[in-house]
Every structure is written in structure tokens, then in C-alpha cells.
Amino acid sequence: MIEKAVIGAQVLFYFHYDYQKIPPILQQLKKKVINGEITVILPTIAIAELLWKMRKAGKTSAFKEALNRWESSENIIIDDFNMTIIKLMLNNAKSHESHDEIIAMTCKKHDTNIIYSNDKKLKEMFNLQLRSW
């Protein structure tokens, strides 16, 4: 079975905005995706955050190119924020920020506890396995 992991907005930011400074763990992740060794799940809320940052930087065309690549990749799942995630959110007694909770519930929806992020709250509040740099 191929490993699955959810990708936070920080990772997308490195790959598509600040690619000069991509940490080694994220370089390895990119190779694994290209080689079909891992399936990554991109929550639409993380994609929207990247769009917001890239639009502010005048890089909307680069965002469009990235989105086209993601949509055509066999190893990337773009996951919508939907009622399934809201119902999973009902089981939480507390949350740090709504977008973090949505990303955490995306992990639960896809039956993975692996998330690429530096946000320690995801581990503390949602018991996710951080792969950070």
C-alpha cells in the first residue's frame, strides 16, 4: 500500500513561491511523489492560502501552472472542504484555528496521521505525526 500524507500550506509555499529554500525533507517528498512512492493530499484550504500569497506577490500565472500539474498528477489528491470534514470536526472539543482543524480532519478523512508541516499544534491537538524541518 502506498503511503498517504496531507500537505499543509507551508509546504506548498516552499514548492511554489520560495523554492530556493526548500528543506531536504521536502525535496525528498517531491521525489517520492514524482516516483509514485507516496500519495499526497492537498486540502483546498491550503491551496487557497497559497493562491492568496502568490496573488499578493504577482505570481498568479505560476499558481495556475501548479494547479494544472496537481490536477493531472496521479499521485496528488485535491480534497475539498465538505460536509464529511465538518462532521469529523464535530468530534473535536477544541481547536486552535479553523484552517488547521480542517487540514487535520482531512488527514482523518483519508485515514492517515502523517502531515508535512511545522505546526506543532497539529501534533498536540490532533495527534498527527509531523514530518517537519
Beta-carbon contacts of 70 under 8 Å, excluding residues fewer than 6 positions away, are 42, 47, 76, 78
Cβ atoms of residues 53 and 91 within 8 Å = no
Can you read off the three cell numbers belonging to residue 128? 498527527
pTM for the structure as a whole: 0.90
Q: Domain 3-131 has what CATH class?
A: alpha beta
Domain residue extents for the chain: 3-131
Question: Kind and range of the H or E element at 69?
Answer: helix 60-72
Give the pLDDT of the chain (133 residues) as one tens digit per residue: 789 999 988 898 888 766 677 899 999 999 999 999 999 999 999 999 999 999 998 999 999 999 999 999 999 999 999 999 999 999 988 887 899 999 999 999 999 999 999 999 999 999 999 999 8
Cβ atoms of residues 67 and 61 within 8 Å = no
